[in-house]
Structure 1
Amino acid sequence: MHDAPATSAATGTSAPTAEDEVVGICQDLLRIDTSNFGDGSGPGERAAAEYVMGSLTEVGLDPELFESAPGRANVVVRLPGTDPTRSALVLHGHLDVVPAAAADWSVDPFAGEERDGLLWGRGAVDMKDMDAMILAVVRQMAREGRRPARDVVVAMFADEEAGGAFGARWAVDNRPELFEGATEAISEVGGFSVDVAGRRAYLLQTAEKGIGWLRLVAEGRAGHGSQVNDENAVTMLAGAVARIGAHAWPQQLTPTVRALLDGVADLTGIPFDPEDEEGVARLVAALGPAARFVGATTRNTANPTQLDAGYKANVIPGRAEAVLDTRFLPGHEDEARAELERLAGPGVRVEDLHRDVALEVPFAGDLVDAMVAALHHEDPDAVVLPYMLSGGTDNKSLARLGITGYGFAPLRLPGDLDFSAMFHGVDERVPVDSLRFGTRVLDRLLADC
């Protein structure tokens, strides 16, 4: 589709295509440190947002940059579609990344190094790869004077890695007019390929678990460490943490997970019985590295992640705290919270730090058909299946405006690449051929959706 340089409608001169540009754009973004520590101490997204502004204004677009707080920058631009009567599509990414400890990496995590056909760096898959594909495709369309099939709102948000309070959530609450007329959205963590029984299958995200970051608080009687104390806050908290961490949550399969496992059963010949947990586990395992994502979507989860208590070896503190990362299935938030309260036990209080909704939408409709068709155009023999993300995306914030969100960052990946381990992992990297594939798919999607 893009074998030769495109021709600019305005100048008649040759210009680089999206495939020509995408790797360089991704490298540029990776070299901008946008680490989000979740406490406001990071560098912020301003430098990356200014890069996005420059990329878009250079091709004649008129984006808007706005800050929710100093340094916490977001960029939005609307591309008019050929059919103004249709509802708009939001195409969004986030500019922040989780921190990276350079000593643990094989390369500098902010050097954007290309090695062995792979682009390395923090954000290479989460999600500066998709950001680069979006920018490359939009730039090409602008240079060629092409318009998408309908209005497309391109948004690059801050703060997704800490819940979006300075990014998508802030924009939805304070600038809802930017998304006027939008009914659907596309973002990260879907559209990537996995090998299943010798067939390539693309996992299109149609659901994501809800988020509950919770604090456990135990309050007891402070005292001398040498004395008997049956109201020790540390003991009460430790019991709660142990019970919650060891709890075996029951298997509960939502419609999205059932549809995925049905598709895997068709590819592998492994029978699918929703009541057979061992059989379900075999089907999940058949997804290879993606089993990490999918396995966590068959049940609610709750993982203790932080502990804080005491200040001296011989002092029993009066208060002890822990933090939990809980993820609940669509429709199961209340029962999950009730179970956590029970497991915490007497004397331990459960407090909210951050909560956000679970999402689940049908694997059907014109947009889904267009995404599937765009993938099949580039990979005709592949299978496309729905799946649920065990984490969360900025689609949660857009859902507050009634916008239906999907995960579709199309990447054709080598079967031996442990893609799921790249997310928030050490030595994060993405194949350059996958980036070029994604630009072709995304370009076709915007023309047809």
Structure 2
Amino acid sequence: MSETTRGPEDEVVRICQELIRIDSSNYGDGRADESEAAAYVVGMLREVGLEPVVVESAPGRPSVFARLTGADPSLPALCVHGHLDVVPANAADWQVDPFGGIERDGCIWGRGAVDMKGMNAMILATVRHLVRTGTIPPRDLVIGFFADEEAGGELGSHYVVDNHPEIFAGVGEAISEVGGYSVTLTGADGAPTRAYLLQTAEKGILWLRLTAHGRAGHGSVPNDENPIVRLAEAIARIDAHEWPREFIPSVQELLDGLSRITGIPYAGDLEPLLAQLGGAAGFVRGTLRDTANVTMLQAGYKHNVIPQDASASLDARFLPGHDETVLKSLHELAGDYVDIEILHQDIALQSPFSGSLVEAIAEALAAEDPGAEVLPYCLSGGTDNKALSKLGITGYGFAPLQLPADLDFAPMFHGIDERVPVESLRFGARVLHRLLRSY
């Protein structure tokens, strides 16, 4: 088979495996290095004649970009982007080497298979095929691979947008991760219906440090100003707080679509409807209201010493327009003896579930999976689309994967034994190729 007759699906699996074998773990405390992964991407792009641009925000923190010229320069360009870093993996917890990229039980296993070296492989395979075959897309395509997404993108997408906005000249829309995968629903007639979740919104981020202050002293002496107790009381109040439920447009449209397909009403209890989504229900539950979860604790230095301070890390996610009210509520819940420091803050996003790009996405999916539905949803986490929005770029999450009905896929994001089916990767490469060659 010649290079021009091979499709993107013919090399996407190999590329995914090779990317997984590059350990690009981001520990979120400055310990990260995407240079080997970036060099791999550069090599794959140069191999087909592209000359990528590399932007390094700090030593070992490169992002990679390439532009394909389209047939009509008057059309807004489309940015297709991924991130090179992954969250860490403890090998002892896994059934396989998390950086082995092995194929087992019809899946590619490893850290990043889902988030998001699988999508990176789809992008690379598709772009390489477009260039090898001389296919000119209708509009300019800006291809990007960012560093540092797993730590908020300060050394990745935000750095590039702030310091090199010219890379995105003319870009109007973007697609990236955490959308486009399928869920299998039980239709109102009892028949299975596949629906693809297109990410059209994402919550904002508040990463906070709570620090309680008190009086240091001997561990044997009663102390009514113990900062650990004050911190624990603040954490208990925050954890017990019931944030008001609110359906933003993407959530409302998702629930309406699910109810239409399944015939399950949701006037009161949402759980019967959400249960149709399997593991993806967790993402949706996280978008019904604002949330705040404690993720780390730091206090004390000796068993018989009451410390002067105690701190906790808090991951708060807010719905669009709720940033100020969430922060105000957290200050009130924390109380008088606890300070709140903002370590990282980023915006919430909302994009319309309409327009020519959404229509083109639906058409590309329908061509490979006739009869499937496309539904919008809001992501409880965040993506590099937040940074691109500062340039007026409308972002969507679309990493297309047709998944087996019995695969509990969504919990694999940052999870143990992360894996993606081989046939899902091949499907995704075909869909992405259809989209980029026609839109």
Provide the C-alpha distance between the structure 2 equivalents of 1:90 and 1:267, rounded to a whole number of angstroms: 32
Q: CA deviation at 1:57?
A: 0.6
Provide the C-alpha distance between the structure 1 equivalents of 2:341 and 2:224, rounded to a whole number of angstroms: 24
Provide the C-alpha distance between the structure 2 equivalents of 1:311 and 1:289, rounded to a whole number of angstroms: 40
Equivalence for 1:396: 386
1:87 equivalent to 2:76? Answer yes
What do the CA deviations read for 1:115-136 (whole angstroms, capped 9, x no partner)?
A: 1110000000000000000000
Provide the C-alpha distance between the structure 2 equivalents of 1:401 and 1:379, rounded to a whole number of angstroms: 34
Instruction: Please show how residues 4-23 of structure 1 align to structure 2 within 5 Å.
Output: 7=4, 16-23=6-13
Amino acid at match of 2:338: V
Q: CA deviation at 1:5?
A: 5.2
| Range with greater deviation from structure 2 (325-334 or 87-96) | 325-334
Provide the C-alpha distance between the structure 1 equivalents of 2:287 and 2:12, rounded to a whole number of angstroms: 32
Amino acid at match of 1:237: L
The answer as to whether partners of 1:137 and 1:439 remain within 8 angstroms in 2 is yes
Amino acid at match of 2:208: L
What do the CA deviations read for 1:125-151 (whole angstroms, capped 9, x no partner)?
A: 000000000000000000001111101
For the residue of structure 2 that corresponds to 1:169, the secondary structure is helix
Equivalence for 2:209: 215
Equivalence for 1:10: none
Equivalence for 1:119: 108
Coordinate RMSD, CA, aligned:
1.1
What do the CA deviations read for 1:68-108 (whole angstroms, capped 9, x no partner)?
A: 11111110001101110011111000000000000110110
Q: Which of residues 173, 176, 182 is equivalent to 1:184?
A: 173
Provide the C-alpha distance between the structure 2 equivalents of 1:300 and 1:360, rounded to a whole number of angstroms: 15
Equivalence for 1:283: 273
Q: Which of residues 250, 256, 259 is equivalent to 2:250?
A: 256
Instruction: Please show how residues 298-309 of structure 1 align to structure 2 within 5 Å.
Output: 298-309=288-299
For the residue of structure 2 that corresponds to 1:69, the secondary structure is coil
The answer as to whether partners of 2:173 and 2:393 remain within 8 angstroms in 1 is yes
For the residue of structure 2 that corresponds to 1:186, the secondary structure is strand
Q: Which of residues 221, 228, 234 is equivalent to 2:222?
A: 228
Equivalence for 1:99: 88
Q: Which of residues 220, 238, 243 is equivalent to 1:244?
A: 238
1:386 equivalent to 2:376? Answer yes
1:139 equivalent to 2:133? Answer no
Provide the C-alpha distance between the structure 1 equivalents of 2:327 and 2:308, rounded to a whole number of angstroms: 26
Equivalence for 1:77: 66
Q: Which of residues 31, 36, 49 is equivalent to 2:26?
A: 36
Amino acid at match of 2:167: L
Equivalence for 1:200: 194
Q: CA deviation at 1:56?
A: 0.5
Identity %: 62
Equivalence for 2:42: 53
Q: CA deviation at 1:357?
A: 0.5
The answer as to whether partners of 1:297 and 1:389 remain within 8 angstroms in 2 is yes
Amino acid at match of 1:179: F
For the residue of structure 2 that corresponds to 1:49, the secondary structure is helix
Q: CA deviation at 1:6?
A: 5.5
Provide the C-alpha distance between the structure 2 equivalents of 1:39 and 1:346, rounded to a whole number of angstroms: 29
Equivalence for 2:352: 362
Q: CA deviation at 1:227?
A: 2.0
For the residue of structure 2 that corresponds to 1:28, the secondary structure is helix
Amino acid at match of 2:96: V
For the residue of structure 2 that corresponds to 1:367, the secondary structure is helix
Amino acid at match of 2:404: P
| Range with greater deviation from structure 2 (345-354 or 429-438) | 345-354
Amino acid at match of 2:70: G
Provide the C-alpha distance between the structure 1 equivalents of 2:7 and 2:174, rounded to a whole number of angstroms: 25
The answer as to whether partners of 1:206 and 1:256 remain within 8 angstroms in 2 is yes
1:156 equivalent to 2:145? Answer yes
Equivalence for 2:189: none
Structure 2 residue ranges without an equivalent (≥5): 187-191
Q: CA deviation at 1:311?
A: 0.8
| Range with greater deviation from structure 2 (333-342 or 68-77) | 333-342
What do the CA deviations read for 1:129-180 (whole angstroms, capped 9, x no partner)?
A: 0000000000000000111110110000101000011111110011110001
Provide the C-alpha distance between the structure 2 equivalents of 1:394 and 1:5, rounded to a whole number of angstroms: 36
Q: Which of residues 344, 350, 362 is equivalent to 2:340?
A: 350
What do the CA deviations read for 1:404-428 (whole angstroms, capped 9, x no partner)?
A: 1000000000011111111000000
Q: CA deviation at 1:252?
A: 1.0
Structure 1 residue ranges without an equivalent (≥5): 8-13
| Range with greater deviation from structure 2 (100-109 or 239-248) | 239-248
Between the two proteins, the alignment pairs up a number of residues equal to 434
List structure 1 segments (4+ residues) > 6 angstroms apart after TM superposition.
Answer: none
1:267 equivalent to 2:261? Answer yes
What do the CA deviations read for 1:189-242 (whole angstroms, capped 9, x no partner)?
A: 001000111210000000001111111111111122222222211111110011
| Range with greater deviation from structure 2 (255-264 or 242-251) | 242-251
The answer as to whether partners of 2:180 and 2:397 remain within 8 angstroms in 1 is yes
Q: Which of residues 314, 319, 323 is equivalent to 2:313?
A: 323
Q: CA deviation at 1:359?
A: 0.4
Provide the C-alpha distance between the structure 2 equivalents of 1:148 and 1:401, rounded to a whole number of angstroms: 23
Q: CA deviation at 1:334?
A: 1.7
Provide the C-alpha distance between the structure 1 equivalents of 2:209 and 2:271, rounded to a whole number of angstroms: 31
Amino acid at match of 2:184: D
The answer as to whether partners of 1:5 and 1:17 remain within 8 angstroms in 2 is no
Amino acid at match of 1:139: R
For the residue of structure 2 that corresponds to 1:287, the secondary structure is helix
Amino acid at match of 2:116: M
What do the CA deviations read for 1:219-272 (whole angstroms, capped 9, x no partner)?
A: 111122222222211111110011112222221111110000000001111113
